[in-house]
Every structure is written in C-alpha cells, then in structure tokens.
Copies of this chain bind each other. A is one copy, B any other.
Amino acid sequence: MFEDKNEQRTPLSELGEFGLIQHLTSMVELQHTSSIKGIGDDAAVLEFDKKQILLTTDMLVEGVHFDLSYVPLKHLGYKSVMVNLSDVYAMNGNATQITVSIAVSNRFPLEALEELYEGIHLACKKYNVDLIGGDTTSSTKGLIISITAIGEADKENVVYRNGAKPNDLLVVTGDVGASYLGLQVLEREKEVFKVNPNSQPDLNNYTYLIERQLKPEARKDIPQLLKALEVKPTSMIDISDGLSSEIIHICTQSKVGCNLFEDKIPLDPQVISTCEEFNLDSTTIALSGGEDYELLFTIALDDFDKIKGNPNVTVIGHITEERDGKHLITRVGQKVELTAQGWNALSNK
C-alpha cells in the first residue's frame, strides 16, 4: 500500500482503442451456453429459454466513489463487478454476463488498466460470469467505470422490493457496518501518510473492515441457499446505501411499516471495537454505513423454521402495517423513527 513501484509504463496511445480492448480482453473465454456472442461485434448476443433476463448497471467515478491513493486498482475492478452482481442476486437471480465501459485520462498507463482488468477478470472467474462487451474511451479527468450486469432467473423465482406483507420477518445476511469503518481506517491512514510518508501503518486490528471495504463479496450463495431451503422471500434488496435506507425502500415500495430491533443487528467484533476506538455509535454505523453488499429480505412468518439457526442469516425485525410507521426498537426498548441516512450523509458530517 502507498508504494510507488516504478514499473514499466506503456502509454495508452500506443495501442489505440481497438488494440486496447483486444489487449484487455484477449483472455476472455465465454462460459455460458447463453453467451452466443461476446466481444468483437456491434452487440453481444444472449440466448435464454423460458428464463427472465435481469439487467443492472452502476457507474463508479474517481474522486466520488473511490480514492486511488489507497484503493488498489485490482481491488477496484473486483469491487466494481461485485456492486453490480449484488443487484442481480438481490432479485434472487444468477448473474451470467457483464459489460464494462471505462473512460480514463492519459495519466493512467496501460499497466494500470491491466491491473483493473485483473480484478474484473478475477471476479468474473470466481462468480462464473462472462465479460461480453463494453467500451473504452479517454476522459479529460480521472477514471470512470460503468458496468452492466445481466442475470437470469426462472420467472416464478424473481423477487422484487414491493412484496413485503405485515407480520413478515425482516432478515439480513452476514453482518453490517464493517465496510464503512474500513473506509474510515483507510482515510485515517491516508492522513497519517500525508504527514509522514515513511510511516508503516499497522492495520492488523482492522483486516476484516478493510477487506469488506476494498474487496467485498456479493452474496451469490444466498439465492442458492434460499432455493435449497425452499424459501422464496416476499421482498429483497441489497445493502449498498445502508441498512436503514434499504429497509425504508422495501417498506415504501411494499406500502408497509416495520420494527427493527437494535440488539438483533449483526455486528462483527472488529466493528464493535473500532467503533469504540473511533468514538462512533455502532448502531449508527450499521444503519447508515453502506457498501456492505449483504442482502436484506423479508419472509413469511411460516418460513421461520426453515431459516432458524442458519448462520448465514439473522432475523432483525418484522413488518407491520403501513400506518404503524417504520421504527427502530432500541436496546432499552425505546421506539425511534427510522430515517434514511446513506453513507453520503455520514461522509458530510
């Protein structure tokens, strides 16, 4: 981290756009029978039989979504794919293809883009996703990444945000808040580095937090788990902006209210210890941190026995009538209105 390797640098101009795309994607081998045609023509061709196609797109901008002074390009590539795949899994689908468009200024040498694509290819391989197209162009400033993910699902399995019903249970996968804290740790180290470029940061106490921030994993396993457990959620969403914001999305679109129990929110021990160190309230971090890429869903009460005791999921509350409002029930039993404060709001504090 923070080191300048002084590696060989090839100006992008040497390759030209076609050469660049070819160079960056020459190792792609299509994996899915549905990928009829990938890179190399005007458009990609997909073929599905009795499947619904899921499509999602996200754009990441340097200086807005990431800071290259502490985000390695390989991790950035990996994470950019995760952000998109997560949206497909949040529909209870399986991601099958992505396209990647990149605008990049001249300050980036070829090796930088190779590193970025290394992370993209790694994500594709690990998640069994085909890279089927994209666009590479120059920018006047910085790096912009726009990814579109395509997925498929049997029609009857697709889960939307708007199906939550009163008495449904509110369930979250994994734990929350770690990614935002990882960002705080990295920001702090960046400031230390500015003052003393020779300092060697000791990040041992924050490994989980930093990994959650730099190299999150999308929950490909959850749609599979739900299928195996024979549970179809009534609604589902991924946690990109923060737990409270996502709960409110489900409630608003489903026209319901909810009670979320503070003491049920799953936190990693590093989140608790680091919140103490940074003098932050762990519940605020969990609710508003964002970038967890866990899944939040609701299930019918009758399905509780199927998920009970499963280490991948935690029941954190239940759905109520819309008129009852959206509330957090604190550890001491207080009922507080749930408000949406994404990580943007936190950053601006």
Contact = CB atoms under 8 A, between A and B. Distances in A.
A161 B101 contact: no
Interface string A23-47: 0000000000000110011111111
Contacts of A36: 52, 158
Contacts of A101: 57-59, 146
Contacts of A132: 55
A56 B137 contact: no
Interface string A47-74: 1111011111111111111000000000
A60 B146 CA distance: 11
A103 interface: yes
A148 B148 CA distance: 8
B134 A57 contact: yes
A314 interface: no
A251 interface: no
A281 to B, nearest CB: 23
A1 to B, nearest CB: 23
A138 B88 contact: no
Nearest to A36: B52
A169 B186 CA distance: 61
A206 interface: no
A41 B158 CA distance: 11
22 contacts: A36-B52, A41-B160, A43-B55, A43-B90, A43-B91, A43-B93, A43-B151, A45-B53, A47-B155, A48-B48, A55-B133, A55-B150, A57-B133, A57-B134, A58-B101, A59-B102, A64-B137, A64-B138, A64-B139, A140-B142, A144-B144, A146-B146
